[in-house]
């Protein structure tokens, strides 16, 4: 993909992050469309979520972001058609966030216009009895995208080192071993032709409060409100620590984690859409060769 792992000039500490202008390749030496803000976790370095400003907007405004998002969506749609036709490789897009972090809204905004036949979205909830009877990766592996497909995970195998850790659902040595198991799983998928893009939608605690209050205040949003979210909110710090360790341990060269400043929904959508479009562009899917003699074939009356 075209993200460059560049040390931030402002990075005083131990360079735990690299900024990636989630945009197209530079033309004429500079990148007119570069949008700072998508933070790629550097493999092998401890990552501190506090380094990312959740309210970042890249100096853009909402009005300018609209057409830019439409352009990124058009690129995704055109490239998806090629990926589907090529039928050789696949793209897996993973979304993780704290409650109200915006996974659903991002998926709706970014994949609008994509041919539904070539894209599947899988939400992962509390495991069923059958799922819980298997190894933790079983249910995720069953939903990975086949050739030509884009697969979207709304929550993912990372829950097994996030909620499972915070709620103490298995002993620590069991969830600790999972970082390596996840890396091996993702390496196997990558080697099998699946490109993996992982986004952590990063909101502040104050923003979560506002979003929960909006759900309470708006009757049309009541269905989204779950009193359990208030209980989870009490574990905010434990979740942040769990996210930071998962991002640190499972950002690999072939499947790095991207942290998206997500307090501003329009900026979040634009960053994610551009990163997906750039990734598909770098994959460079091609239409298959036509059978000889197609052009000029006459269809009998
Ligand atoms: P969402 O918040 O994703 O829109 P829900 O409100 O139904 O959907 O929440 C799904 C719940 O499932 C979350 O509380 C999440 O922590 C839980 N969950 C997901 N995966 C697992 C897992 N592997 N083990 C335990 N709980 C899980």
Query: Residue 295: inside a domain, yes or no?
Result: no
Q: What is the pLDDT of residue 185?
A: 98
Query: Residue 2: inside a domain, yes or no?
Result: no
Nearest CA to ligand 1 atom 8: 125
Q: Is residue 2 predicted with pLDDT exceeding 70? A: no
Query: Residue 7: inside a domain, yes or no?
Result: no
Query: Residue 1: inside a domain, yes or no?
Result: no
Query: Residue 188: inside a domain, yes or no?
Result: yes
- Distance (angstroms) between ligand 1 centre and the Cα of 195 equals 25
Structure tokens that stand for 106 in this block: 């991002």
pLDDT, tens digit, 9 for 90 and up, residues 24-77? 343 333 333 444 688 999 998 999 999 899 999 998 999 989 999 999 999 999
Which of 56, 6, 37 lies closest to 258 in space, CA to CA? 37
Q: Could you tell me which residues come within 8 angstroms of residue 157 by beta carbon, excluding any fewer than 6 positions away?
A: 136, 137, 140, 182, 185
Boundaries of domain holding 156? 12-287
Distance CA 206, CA 42 (A): 27
Out of 106, 126, 127, 141, mutate this one to test ligand 1's pocket (max ligand atoms within 8 Å of CB): namely 126
Query: Residue 96: inside a domain, yes or no?
Result: yes
Percent of the chain with pLDDT over 70: 88
Q: Is residue 17 predicted with pLDDT exceeding 60? A: no
Total Cβ atoms within 10 A of residue 89: 16
- Distance (angstroms) between ligand 1 centre and the Cα of 140 equals 14
Query: Is the overall model pTM greater than 0.95, yes or no?
Result: no
pLDDT, tens digit, 9 for 90 and up, residues 207-247? 999 999 999 999 999 999 999 999 999 999 999 999 999 99
Total Cβ atoms within 10 A of residue 103: 21
Query: Residue 215: inside a domain, yes or no?
Result: yes
Task: State how many domains the chain has.
Answer: 1
| Complete edge-to-edge strand list for the sheet that includes strand 90-97 | 6-7, 17-20, 38-41, 257-261, 194-202, 90-97, 150-154, 119-123
Across residues 75-89, what is the average pLDDT? 98
CATH number at residue 72: 3.40.50.300
Question: Which residues line ligand 1 at a C-beta cut-off of 6 Å?
Answer: 99, 123-127, 154-155, 159-160, 163-164, 226
Q: What is the pLDDT of residue 36?
A: 65
Nearest CA to ligand 1 atom 7: 125
Question: What is the H or E stretch that residue 150 is in?
Answer: strand 150-154
> β-strand 119-123 against 150-154: which pairing, if any?
parallel
- Distance (angstroms) between ligand 1 centre and the Cα of 122 equals 12
């Amino acid at each position: 993909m075209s993200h460059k792992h560049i040390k931030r000039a402002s990075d005083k500490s131990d360079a735990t992050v690299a900024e990636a202008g989630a945009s197209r390749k530079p033309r004429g030496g500079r990148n007119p469309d570069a949008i700072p803000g998508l933070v790629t976790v550097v493999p092998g370095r401890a990552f501190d979520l506090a380094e990312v400003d959740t309210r970042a907007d890249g100096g853009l405004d909402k009005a300018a972001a609209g057409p830019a998002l439409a352009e990124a969506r058009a690129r995704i749609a055109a490239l998806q058609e090629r990926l589907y036709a090529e039928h050789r490789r696949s793209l897996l897009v993973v979304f993780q966030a704290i409650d109200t972090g915006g996974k659903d809204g991002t998926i709706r905004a970014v994949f609008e216009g994509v041919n539904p036949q070539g894209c599947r979205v899988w939400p992962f909830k509390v495991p069923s009895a059958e799922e819980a009877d298997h190894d933790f990766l079983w249910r995720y592996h069953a939903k990975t995208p086949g050739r030509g497909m884009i697969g979207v995970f709304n929550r993912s195998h990372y829950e097994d080192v996030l909620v499972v850790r915070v709620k103490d659902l298995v002993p620590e040595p069991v969830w600790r071993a999972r970082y390596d198991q996840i890396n091996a799983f993702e390496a196997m998928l990558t080697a099998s032709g699946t490109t993996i893009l992982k986004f952590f939608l990063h909101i502040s605690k104050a923003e979560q409060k506002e979003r929960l209050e909006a759900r309470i205040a708006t009757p049309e949003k009541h269905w989204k409100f779950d009193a359990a979210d208030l209980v989870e909110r009490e574990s905010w710090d434990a979740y942040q620590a769990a996210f930071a360790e998962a991002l640190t341990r499972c950002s690999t060269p072939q499947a790095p984690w991207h942290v998206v400043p997500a307090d501003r929904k329009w900026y979040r959508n634009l960053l994610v859409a551009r990163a997906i479009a750039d990734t598909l562009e770098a994959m460079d899917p091609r239409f298959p060769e036509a059978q000889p003699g197609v052009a000029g074939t006459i269809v009998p009356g």
